[in-house]
Copies of this chain bind each other. A is one copy, B any other.
Amino acid sequence: REGERKDRRSHKMKSAGEVVIGDGGFVFALEKRGYVKAGPWTPEATVTHPEAVRQLHREFLRAGSNVMQAFTFYASDDKLENRANMSLEVASEGDALVAGGVSQTPSYLSCKSETEVKAIFKKQLEVFMKKNVDFLIAEYFEHVEEAEWAVQVLKTSGKPVAASLCIGPEGDMHGISPGECAVRLVKAGAQIVGVNCHFDPMTCVKAVKMMKEGVEKAGLKAHYMVQPLAYHTPDCNCQGFIDLPEFPFGLEPRILTRWDMHKYAREAYKAGIRFIGGCCGFEPYHIRAVAEELASERGIIPPGSEKHGMWGSGLEMHTKPWVRARARRDYWEQLMPASGRPKCPSFSTPEADQI
């Protein structure tokens, strides 16, 4: 099996022009299913309820995802190994790559040295190398400097490296612009750069566009990735959705519909982004909508679409004529869904701004 996987990986990575679809954020989805605690967000469900985690992996795979991320947000080494096994196992059920991921460390925030922080990434990398993952992602970094360190460690593996910051168009925590961030990450050794989490799809695509402009202006080359929230956040400040008063237990009215996801996928594709996925808030049907929007570009329809009529066509047999009339693309594209909440506004005031 090992040999096959290597072939698959090299084949995938060669044809960089094709679209890779990511998965969704695991901690938010598992929190709603009852297996992760909001606040600490630690991933012990991998050990305590492996079937629940495996089921979610399978649903994303079925929805069209062709990357299984061994999510390791704040995971200790033994859980990491467990997690990587699980991803490899489910990935082999379908046509998916497995990515080993590292994230920002508490050590960096408490001002530990470059050597100390890199030592953490090295230990995590060792686990992923043992499991022979297909590629590596340095993801969810608020400071480009720490992401550079992570990339420098990960590229020693010889495997493809992706680097993704949780920033918007205003740049990283020190205001370093998306363009400059991307240039630094490419120079550090990343083949793929992009953003994830913290902002809604359109905002993230905008930030990645700025990254692409920066990279191209610098005469460099890269591929691009985006893995945004599934929440509308037009009212965020530069710190992202954590500062919204609704974080993390009142975000429901902001959840994107499947039709919002179609718009996101199209916009990301038009911007030249080829690794298109999701983060917190994404459910399997969101990823399926991304895969359906890009079905002709990718030449495949996701397995899960057997249970989904494109653009609402499943309503064609409804008994009420006005519901049948919704079985068409322009109806859903133009719908502005009501909130059903007359005492709730459209925008919040991020709390840091109130102080």
Q: A258 to B308: give the CA distance in the assembly, Å.
A: 28
Interface residues of A in 173-221 (CB under 8 A from B): 200
Contacts A249-B332, A323-B247 given: A235-B355 contact, CB under 8 Å? Answer: no
Q: How many copies of this chain?
A: 4
Which residues from B are CB-within-8-Å of A306? 37
Which residues from B are CB-within-8-Å of A341? 232, 253-254, 336-337, 339, 345-346
A253 touches B55 (CB 8 A): no
A307 touches B251 (CB 8 A): no
Q: Which of A144-152, A271-279, A309-317 contacts B (4 or more CB under 8 A)?
A: A309-317
Contacts A32-B283, A317-B39, A345-B338 given: A253-B253 contact, CB under 8 Å? Answer: yes
Q: Per-residue CB proximity of A1-36 to B under 8 Å, as 1/0?
A: 000000000000000000000000000000111111
A253 touches B255 (CB 8 A): yes
Contacts A249-B312, A318-B39 given: A344-B342 contact, CB under 8 Å? Answer: no
Task: Determine if A117 is an interface residue (Cβ-Cβ < 8 Å).
Answer: no
B62 touches A34 (CB 8 A): yes
Which residues from B are CB-within-8-Å of A327? 39
| Chain A interfacial residues counted at CB < 8 A | 83
Which residues from B are CB-within-8-Å of A36? 307
Q: A312 to B40: give the CA distance in the assembly, Å.
A: 12
A250 touches B337 (CB 8 A): yes
Task: Determine if A59 is an interface residue (Cβ-Cβ < 8 Å).
Answer: yes
Which of B40, B323, B343 lies in contact with A242, CB distance below 8 A? B323
Which residues from B are CB-within-8-Å of A33? 59, 283-285
Q: A322 to B51: give the CA distance in the assembly, Å.
A: 36
Q: A317 to B251: give the CA distance in the assembly, Å.
A: 20
Closest B residue to A242 by beta carbon equals: B323
Q: Within the complex, what minimum Cβ distance (angstroms) separates A351 from chain B?
A: 4
Interface residues of A in 218-255 (CB under 8 A from B): 231-235, 242-255
Contacts A255-B252, A355-B322 given: A39-B316 contact, CB under 8 Å? Answer: yes
Which residues from B are CB-within-8-Å of A62? 34
Q: Per-residue CB proximity of A279-315 to B under 8 Å, as 1/0?
A: 0000111001000000000000000101111001111
Q: Within the complex, what minimum Cβ distance (angstroms) separates A60 from chain B?
A: 9
Q: Within the complex, what minimum Cβ distance (angstroms) separates A191 from chain B?
A: 31
A→B interface (CB under 8 Å) = 31-40, 51-52, 55, 58-59, 62-63, 109, 200, 231-235, 242-259, 283-285, 288, 304, 306-309, 312-320, 322-323, 326-327, 332, 335-349, 351-352, 355
